[in-house]
C-alpha cells in the first residue's frame, strides 16, 4: 500500500511554512527578510533538510545571503524545535535555488527564437 505523500515531504512542507514565518518575524537582517523559500527537502532519517530559496533582484549576491542564512541556521533550528512536534529537528542547509533563473533564461531563449522565426521571410 503506497501513500500519496511521504512523511519527509509532509515534514518538509511544514518546515517551509514555519521557517518562512520565523525568518519574517525573528531575523533582524533586512536582506534576509526578502527571500522566498521555494522548497524544503528532508532526508529520510530526518538528520538534514536542504532549504532552497530565491532572493529579490537587486539584493546582495545569493552567495552572501546563503552564507548569512547558514550562520543563523542553528538559531532557526532551535526555534523550529520550539514550534514543531518532532523528535529530531533536522540540521538546516540553505541552498540558492537556480531553477527560477534557469526558467527565465529558457523563456528568453524561446522568445528570441520566436522573434527570429517571425522576422525570417520564408
Q: What is the pLDDT of residue 50?
A: 96
Give the model's confidence band at 120: pLDDT under 50 very low, under 70 low, under 90 confident, else very high.
low
DSSP β-ladder status, 91-96 and 35-42: unpaired
CATH number assigned to the domain comprising residue 50 = 3.30.300.20
Please give the residue range of the domain that contains residue 90: 7-119
pLDDT at 75 > cutoff 90: yes
- Is 42 inside any structural domain? yes
Q: With respect to residue 39, please indicate whether it lies within any of the assigned structural domains.
A: yes
> Residue 77 falls within a domain, yes or no?
yes
Q: Is there a domain that residue 1 lies in?
A: no
Query: Does residue 52 or residue 31 have the better pLDDT?
Result: 52
The count of other CB atoms within 10 Å of the CB of residue 37 is 17
Question: How far apart are the two ends of the chain, measured CA to CA in Å?
Answer: 57
Whether 2 is covered by a domain: the verdict is no
pTM: 0.77
Confidence band, pLDDT 50/70/90 cuts, at residue 26:
confident
DSSP 38-104: EEEEE-TTSSEEEEEEEE-TTSS-HHHHHHHHHHSHHHHHHHHHHHS--SSPPEEEEEE--HHHHHH
Our count of domains for the chain comes to: 1
Q: Residue 1: its pLDDT value, please?
A: 42
Residue 114 lies in a domain: yes
Amino acid at each position: 500500500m503506497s501513500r500519496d505523500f511521504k512523511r519527509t515531504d509532509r515534514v518538509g512542507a511544514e518546515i517551509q511554512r514555519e521557517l518562512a514565518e520565523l525568518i519574517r518575524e525573528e531575523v533582524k537582517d533586512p536582506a534576509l527578510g526578502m527571500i522566498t523559500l521555494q522548497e524544503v527537502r528532508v532526508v529520510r532519517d530526518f538528520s538534514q533538510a536542504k532549504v532552497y530559496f530565491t532572493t529579490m533582484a537587486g539584493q546582495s549576491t545569493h552567495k552572501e545571503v546563503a552564507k548569512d542564512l547558514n550562520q543563523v541556521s542553528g538559531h532557526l533550528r532551535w526555534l523550529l524545535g520550539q514550534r514543531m512536534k518532532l523528535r529530531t529537528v533536522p540540521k538546516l542547509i540553505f541552498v540558492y535555488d537556480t531553477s527560477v533563473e534557469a526558467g527565465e533564461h529558457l523563456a528568453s531563449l524561446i522568445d528570441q527564437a520566436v522573434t527570429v522565426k517571425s522576422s525570417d521571410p520564408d
